[in-house]
Amino acid sequence: MGPVTALGESAIADVMTRTSVLLLLLSACDSDDKTSAEISSADPTDTHSDQHRDSGASGDGGTPEDTGPQPSWDGSSEVDRAAAAAELTAAAAAFLVGLDDYQRSQVQYSLTDAERSDWSNLPHAVYARAGVGFRELNEERVALGWDLIRASLSAAGIERTRAIIQMEKLLWDDGDPNANPGNYFFTFFGTPSVESPWGWQLDGHHLALNFTVSGSEVTFSPSLWGTTPKTWASGEHAGLSPMAEEEDLAFAWMASLDETQLGMAQLGADLDPDLMAGPTSVRASWPEAAGVPASALNNAQRAALMDWVAVYVGNLSEAHAAERMSEIFDTLDEVSVAWMGGTEPGSMMYYRIQGPRVLIEFDHTRNADHIHAVYRDPQNDYGTDWLSKHLAEHHSEEVSAHTSTRLAGVDTHH
């Protein structure tokens, strides 16, 4: 199925007007309402903050009982999430109204179109994308695109996105024919609305972000990040390393394990370490949970594990990231961590953090300078849990076997 008929400018302007009114109403809400818990975007490696946790633990590899109180992780208020979702919706509507008619027709799809799961870590020259790329936009429209990205992500997420695209530009300037910083593409699924679910996608080499908006809630599961080289070595951007935190916190966490925990975490060396829940994966083939369970960790290790997860989830806008993190924390006892490869910093390795509400894979095994990572929510990938509930509550007469199958299988068409 191709792009749906594009909305007229007047229809999109109406969405923007209603969204602006909602933002004004939300800003007038009681300022004493519970505020968003922040996701340490300035320094995700900070293990001393009391904002999210109170571990009272030393991280010495002891048992869960011997290290003080359990860590905690607060969510965020409905008001904060609704305001952030409304801001995102307004930015999406502004981007769409800024396109010409042809461009708008190329970026809009129905919410359940198979295009939604057609994303990749490969360069556009190898894996062609639909939608409209940066290189097809004039300066004003590029600015609107970045406004949308900023409304969707945290400060840390914006920085990481810019770093990955900057790495692509450096490769392009260095003569790599497969690299092109203009080949990051925008697509939209459904109509940006504060009342009905919709989604948007940013997709290009080593970056694929799939956003779903449903009322006050936003997720960007699934998402993929990557980089090659791992660190840029020379010139003005020497030291650029888009995924250093994902690697550094992993090695630090592994160093906190005792011998028994380490033995549980490590998988067989003969297993395939490539991403198993990546862009071409089928849900039925996702791996079984393995490794060391969170129930075998002490409280400092559990808190550090949540900080590690927050490097990924914390790319999302702060209020929504806080809520997604609270969902993960609520099922922390069912989370496990699996590892392959060396445990010394700088080693090539693979890890997987897996539970009912999180599946993170990090693959640094292809060569010493090539990293891929993916984040998914097994319960709510592409917002399918929210979409099913919305259909049941608001469009029960439209729910059919075909629709239900489509929602359930949105990531399995490859």
On whether the CB atoms of residues 227 and 121 are closer than 8 A, the answer is no
Q: State the pLDDT at residue 391.
A: 75
pLDDT class of 406 with cuts at 50, 70, 90: very low
pLDDT class of 393 with cuts at 50, 70, 90: confident
Look at residue 3 and tell me if it is in a domain. Answer: no
Look at residue 137 and tell me if it is in a domain. Answer: yes
Look at residue 295 and tell me if it is in a domain. Answer: yes
pLDDT class of 50 with cuts at 50, 70, 90: very low
On whether the CB atoms of residues 44 and 310 are closer than 8 A, the answer is yes
| Residues spanned by the domain of 73 | 9-408
Q: What is the pLDDT of residues 93-118, one digit of tens each?
A: 999 999 999 999 999 999 999 999 99
CA 380, 199, 38, 71: dihedral to nearest 10 degrees? 0
Which of 140-149, 254-263, 275-284, 346-355 is the least confident region? 275-284
Phi, psi of 127 (to 5 degrees): -130, 95
Look at residue 4 and tell me if it is in a domain. Answer: no
Residues 323-343 have a mean pLDDT of: 96
Q: What is the pLDDT of residues 220-277, one digit of tens each?
A: 999 999 999 999 999 999 999 999 999 999 999 999 999 999 999 999 766 667 899 9
pLDDT class of 383 with cuts at 50, 70, 90: very high
Q: What is the pTM of this model?
A: 0.82
Look at residue 356 and tell me if it is in a domain. Answer: yes
Helix (H) or strand (E) holding 224: strand 223-227
Look at residue 238 and tell me if it is in a domain. Answer: yes
Burial code (b: 16+ CB inside 10 Å, e: under 16) for 59-93 equals bebbebeebeebbebbbbbbbbbbbbbbbbbbbbb
Residues 121-145 have a mean pLDDT of: 97
Look at residue 413 and tell me if it is in a domain. Answer: no
Average pLDDT of the chain is 84
Which of 81-90, 115-124, 217-226, 404-413 is the least confident region? 404-413
Q: State the pLDDT at residue 9.
A: 53
Q: What is the pLDDT of residues 145-167, one digit of tens each?
A: 999 999 999 999 999 999 999 99
Residue 370 has pLDDT above 60, yes or no: yes
On whether the CB atoms of residues 199 and 382 are closer than 8 A, the answer is yes
Q: State the pLDDT at residue 58.
A: 37
Look at residue 2 and tell me if it is in a domain. Answer: no
Q: What's the domain count of the chain?
A: 1
Q: State the pLDDT at residue 34.
A: 39
pLDDT class of 68 with cuts at 50, 70, 90: low
